[in-house]
Structure formats: structure tokens, C-alpha cells
Amino acid sequence: MKRSAGLHPYLISVALLLMALLASVALGPVFVSPGDVLRVLLAQIPGLPVKADWQEFAPTIVLSIRLPHAMLMALTGAALAGSGAAFQGLFRNPLADPYLIGVASGAGLGAVFALAVKWPSNLLGMYSVPAAAFLGAIATIALVYSLARVGRTLPTTTLILAGVAVSAFASSLTSFLMLRSNQELRRALSWLLGGSVMDGWDPFWAALPYVLVGLGFLSFSGHSLNLLQFGEEQAQQLGLNTERAKLLLILAASLATAAAVAFSGVIGFIGLVVPHTIRLVWGGAPHSAHDYRRLLPLSILGGSSALLAADLLARMLLAPQVLPVGIVTALAGAPFFLYLLRRAKDQAFW
């Protein structure tokens, strides 16, 4: 089997991501030319002779405003799509995503609880928000898992029902907490719709370690996820310690989701649409993207690009007004998902 073949999906994904990042930094209320963006970025590398012939405001806009925001969006998209792909594989359910099974709502509840107790004014407080979101996510998934489990199996129907019910419960508690702390209501509401409420590099650096650990683990879990597609019994007979593998996968995916939700708010559909799009585009033999060793890295890259694109739309559509990006992903994601489903009717889609 040729190993070098089948590289081009990665090249395309990386190229798309770089283009999305560049566009995201260049476009906004004030246009910064891509050339200026690149020169400003290159000038950051010490020792590189770059002539400072850019517009005066370019470094501030690029380095302090747009790049940190773009990086946070890229990180969030990667976390949501990567954990979406992992949840789909883990639960062997094409509809599983961080939102449907309640992880994201649980993370939201955890984050809002932390914020309601005390809005983080210092750095330590801010680093604790993803930790609270993570605890909320883990508690939710443990609850959903135990509710949905029938004997030794995890049937699709009970999983979805338990996920939706627990998700609704967590959302109600979130709303309740937000209503109680009315001075933060507007801020929290825009957060809930997927509008990042913090500026600068702080949220990016606060979320980064959680996402790196979560996605880092997931990127190397492709083989375990492939085995789990055959059912837990066969996976075990092929040599997988299934209980340990499932636990680690849930922890890693929840960690990434929690960090994303804690700093970027509730952004739906990325975790569902991106992995399915990749399966549809690159799902053919022999280097099928249904292979989780390929699907996970491609979803992580694709998730970044997709959320950057959605964020760009959110900022440009009604400029100068900025829409919460969660509205854009839902408005674009839902019809796009239906289109994918229709197109996929006679293919080996799942």
C-alpha cells in the first residue's frame, strides 16, 4: 500500500486554513492588505529584515485585535470539529456532536456558574472558567451516559433522548443563573449566542492548554476509534482495552469542548457538519476519510477554517454590527447539513 498517496487532503486543508486566517485578519471595518498582514507578522520574528512600510495602524489592528480573535476562533473550531468527530466515532452515531449529547450545554452551565459566582477579573479567575466548564461537561456526559445505557450497550435512541433532556435541563439552569445575576445579563447572553466577550490574547492563551491536551490526545486516537466502529466486543477481541479507551476519549473530547465553550460561547453545528463534510468529500477508497486516523486531523483543520469563515460572515454581514457567530453557524449549518444528507442518500455516507 502506497503511503505517500492521499496526502493532498492535508495540503488542501492547511491551505484553506491559512487563507481563512489571512482573510480573517485582513478583513474588517478597516481593510488591512494581505501584504501588510504578512509583513507585520514576519516582522515579529526577530532577526528577519522586514521593511516597516505598512500603514501606521496595521500592527495594532493585526497583532492586538484581529489575530488574537482569529486564533481563538481557529482554536474553537478545531476543538468543536475534532471532538464532534470523536463523539460520532465513540458513540457510533452520525448525529453525535458536543451539543446533541449535552456536553456543550453542561460546559456552558459550568462556565456560567463560575461567572455567576465571580466574573473573572484577574488572570487566575479566567483560567478557572474552562476548568468549571470542563467539570460541567464531564458531569453532564456521565449523567447522559448512565441514563442512556441499556445493559452493556449504548443505543442511539436513548443516547439522543437522554442528551436532549439533560441538555435542556442544563440550559434552563444556565438561563436561571443568568437571570439572577442581572448586571451581567447582556454580556452573558451574547456569550451564550457564541459571541466572544473577552478581547486580546488572554482568552486564547487560557483556552490553548486545554484544547492542545484534548485534541492532541484525539489526534492519536484514530486507531482506537476505528476499532470501536466494529462494536466493543470485536474491539476487545482485537486487543483494545475498551473501557479505558472510551473513558480517555470522553475526557479528551469533553476537555476540548469545554475550553471552546468557556471562551467562545455556544457555537452549534461545527462539530456535526465539518466531520460529515470531510467524509463526503474524501470518503472514497482507498484512503477513505472514514478512517478515523485521517478523519480526526482533517476535521480539526477543517473546523478551524469553517469557524473562521463563519466568524468572518458574522463580522461582515451587517457591518459595523457584529453578529454572534453561533447565529451564523446555525443559519448556515442547518441547511448545509440537510443538503449534505440529500446528496448522500445513495452513497456510503456513514
Partner 1 sequence: MLEVESLYFRYNGHDVLQNVSLRIQAGEVLALIGPNGAGKSTLIRTISGVLKARLGAVMVYGREISSLSPMQRARYMAVVPQARQLPGAFSVYQTVALGRTPYLGWLGKTGKSDDLAVQRALEQTQLSHLAERMVGSLSGGEQQRVLLARALAQETPILLMDEPTTHLDLEHQTVLLNLVRSLTVERGLAVLAALHDLNLASLYADRVALIAAGRIHAMGAPQQVLTSEQLSHVYHVPVQVVPHPQYGSPLVLPDGRRTR
| Residue 2 near partner 1 by CB under 8 A | no
Residue closer to partner 1 (CB basis): 200 or 216: 216
Q: CB-side exposure of 29: number of CA atoms within 13 Å? A: 8
| Residue 156 near partner 1 by CB under 8 A | no
231-258 b/e (C-beta count within 10 Å ≥ 16 → b): ebeebbeeebebeebbeebbbbbbbbbb
| Residue 234 near partner 1 by CB under 8 A | yes
Rounded to whole angstroms, the Cα distance separating 178 from 188 reads 7
Rounded to whole angstroms, the Cα distance separating 201 from 226 reads 37
Phi-psi region for residue 50, left (φ > 0), alpha (ψ -120 to 50) or beta? beta
Q: Least Å distance between CB 212 and partner 1?
A: 17
Q: Least Å distance between CB 234 and partner 1?
A: 6
| Residue 82 near partner 1 by CB under 8 A | no
- Give the interface segment with partner 1, choosing from 16-24, 174-182, 240-248, 264-272 (CB under 8 A): 240-248
Q: Which member of 24, 88, 242, 254 binds partner 1 (CB under 8 A)?
A: 242
| Residue 290 near partner 1 by CB under 8 A | yes
Residue closer to partner 1 (CB basis): 91 or 191: 91
| Residue 345 near partner 1 by CB under 8 A | no
For residue 272 the three cell numbers come to 456535526
Q: Which member of 279, 300, 308, 327 binds partner 1 (CB under 8 A)?
A: 279
Residue closer to partner 1 (CB basis): 97 or 291: 291
Q: Within its chain, how far is the Cα of 79 from the centroid?
A: 3
| Residue 140 near partner 1 by CB under 8 A | no
| Residue 231 near partner 1 by CB under 8 A | yes
Q: Least Å distance between CB 35 and partner 1?
A: 41
Residue closer to partner 1 (CB basis): 87 or 263: 87
Q: Least Å distance between CB 261 and partner 1?
A: 29
Q: Least Å distance between CB 155 and partner 1?
A: 14
Asked if 147 and 133 touch (Cβ cutoff 8 Å), the reply is no
- Give the interface segment with partner 1, choosing from 49-57, 179-187, 202-210, 289-297 (CB under 8 A): 289-297
Q: Which member of 9, 163, 283, 333 binds partner 1 (CB under 8 A)?
A: 283
Of 30, 32, 25, 40, residue with least CA distance to 71? 25
Residue closer to partner 1 (CB basis): 36 or 291: 291
| Residue 285 near partner 1 by CB under 8 A | yes
Residue closer to partner 1 (CB basis): 268 or 283: 283
| Residue 17 near partner 1 by CB under 8 A | no
Rounded to whole angstroms, the Cα distance separating 120 from 127 reads 9
| Residue 226 near partner 1 by CB under 8 A | yes
| Residue 174 near partner 1 by CB under 8 A | no
- Interaction site with partner 1 (CB under 8 A): 1, 220, 222-224, 226-227, 229-231, 233-234, 236-242, 279, 283, 285-286, 288, 290-291, 293, 348, 350
